[in-house]
Structure 1
Amino acid sequence: MSETGDSAPDFTAPLANGDVDSFTLSERLEEEAPIVLAFFPAAFTGVCTDEMCTFQSRLAEFENVNASVYGVSRDSPFTLNEFRDQNDLEFGLISDFNAEIITDYGIEMDFEDLGVYGVAKRSVFVVDDSGEIVYSWVSDDPGVEPEYVEVEAAAEDAA
């Protein structure tokens, strides 16, 4: 599992931003660091919607320290664009449809009783301009949201 002090695994994936573009972490770090990667199990579910909407309501705090926020899930980019639209999210959502990023970060989880496998544990990583993870939070309980103030402080420290 990726932890504070590790180099963030680089990746390229579809970005749902109203359209569908390509997102490469290492390229974005050159212009947008620090970057907050907020992994969530699935769009259109209760806690995930609450979490992404909370990041939206706090987006100004991240922008004030020049940090960029991105949500990441296994949903398709088309599903994520609809999720963005329905929740008025202004930040991009990264589609890890093939679970490659989730695997690289070591944050896979299953909902065996539902027959759902290989989704992201609710996790947050703050990555600085050198590609180092300066903050990590991973929950084994999908019903728990991150401490947003801690995430904001880590982004500010990395700015």
Structure 2
Amino acid sequence: MKRLISIRFWLAIVLCLTLFWGLGSNAWAMGGKQPLINEPAPEFALPTNTGSGEISLQDYLGQWVVLYFYPKDFTSGCTIEARRFQQDIAEYEARNAQILGVSVDDVDSHQEFCDSEGLKFPLLADTNGSVSKAYGSWLGAMSLRHTYLIDPQGILRETFLGVRPSIHSQEVLARLDQLKGTI
């Protein structure tokens, strides 16, 4: 009996480590059917921490949108990723790009996270996962770490599935520069 509990314990540990380490890697980049590049991005309207009610993709027509999904407020990888986007926010603004973060956390959690980390971009509350699912960024009970670049006409131009939080913002800026030169 003791041996059986020990085996179950270690299997659970291995499963958890695999899941959490893999959220940012290609091994767990699935999450469902991805929207198609060069097609209209899935529309959404979600409540935000900014106090302005809901934010929709339509609100940003005429701007590039960096729509990034992440698992949970206040976790280490998500905090690093958010800090890097905030650190580079002036570069995004100079490129006419709006950063929008999405997770299943509620508006209150997002507000606390923004206050704690000094984030000046909106975080959207996808509490039922419907938008995460529409973007193929869903794993059971949380959003996966995926990012989508949407052009000023609402067309999906790039998908990032194997995101490394510490360097991701710079990757997005580089790709944004490439895309702006071709579109």
TM-score category by the smaller chain? 0.7 to 0.9
- Per-residue CA deviation, residues 90-111 of structure 1 (Å, 9 max, x unaligned), is 11101101101011111111xx
Which structure is larger by alpha-carbon Rg, 1 or 2? 2
- Root-mean-square deviation over aligned CA pairs: 1.8
Per the TM alignment, residue 15 of structure 1 is displaced from its structure 2 partner at its CA by 1.3
Higher helix share: 2
Extract unaligned runs of 5+ from structure 2.
1-33
Match for residue 124 of structure 1?
Answer: 147
Matching of residues 40-59 of structure 1 within 5 Å: 40-59=70-89
Q: Provide the rounded CA distance (Å) in 1 between the counterparts of 2:108 and 2:52.
A: 8
TM-score, normalising length: structure 1 = 0.84
Match for residue 38 of structure 2?
Answer: 5
1:99 aligns with 2:142: no
* 1:62–1:155 CA contact under 8 A, matched in 2: no
Match for residue 175 of structure 2?
Answer: 154
* 2:81–2:168 CA contact under 8 A, matched in 1: no
Q: How much identity, in percent, do the aligned residues show?
A: 28
Equivalent pairs counted in the alignment come to 146
Match for residue 62 of structure 1?
Answer: 92
* 1:134–1:154 CA contact under 8 A, matched in 2: no
AA partner of residue 152 (structure 2): D
The DSSP-based 3-state class of the residue aligned with 1:16 is coil
* 2:67–2:99 CA contact under 8 A, matched in 1: yes
Matching of residues 105-116 of structure 1 within 5 Å: 105-109=135-139
TM-score, normalising length: structure 2 = 0.74
Q: Provide the rounded CA distance (Å) in 1 between the counterparts of 2:168 and 2:81.
A: 10
Q: Provide the rounded CA distance (Å) in 1 between the counterparts of 2:154 and 2:52.
A: 24
Higher strand share: 1
Extract unaligned runs of 5+ from structure 1.
110-116
Instruction: Indicate how the Cα distance of structure 1 residues 105 and 131 shifts in structure 2: closer, same or farther if over 3 A, else same.
Output: same
